[in-house]
Amino acid sequence: MSRDFWAGVGAGVAGAAIAVHFWLAILFDGMRRTYADFGGSIPASTRLVLSATWRWGIPGAGVVALLLVSRRARGSWPYGALAIVLVLTAVATYIFAQAPLYALAGNIKGD
């Protein structure tokens, strides 16, 4: 397959990951307040991914990076690298934002 095909696949995956990041930014908007109501400390990774800077900065930076890559790339590897980074940050955002809920669920014991 041609290099243009793989560049298109990378751009498509990166675009989908950006859309997921925007969805996560909306989904996790109130989670920090919810965790504050639980009491106790919130892990640093959770505080990071729930900050407005992360929630809106990552998809914004992803859009800018995709535009820059599409203008300057001389091959398909920059598209693939950008797609991998955006997918990994989306997965990390989801996991770290949900971590306190999973920790709390682990403390529930049935009779």
Domain membership flag for residue 111? no
**What are the respective helix, strand and coil percentages of the chain, to the nearest 5?**
80, 0, 20
Lookup: tokens for 84: 């991998």
Domain that holds residue 21: 3-106
pLDDT at 56 (0 to 100)? 96
Residue 111 clears pLDDT 70, i.e. is over it: no
Residue 32 clears pLDDT 90, i.e. is over it: no
The CA-based angle 28-30-36, given to 5 degrees, is 115
CA neighbor of 7 nearest in space, from 93, 61, 83, 63: 83
Amino acid at 109: K
Amino acid at 58: I
Residue 45 clears pLDDT 80, i.e. is over it: yes
More confident residue, 103 or 71: 71
Domain membership flag for residue 68? yes
- Mean pLDDT of the chain, nearest integer: 88
Give per-residue pLDDT as tens, 53-92.
Answer: 999 999 999 999 999 998 887 788 899 999 999 999 999 9
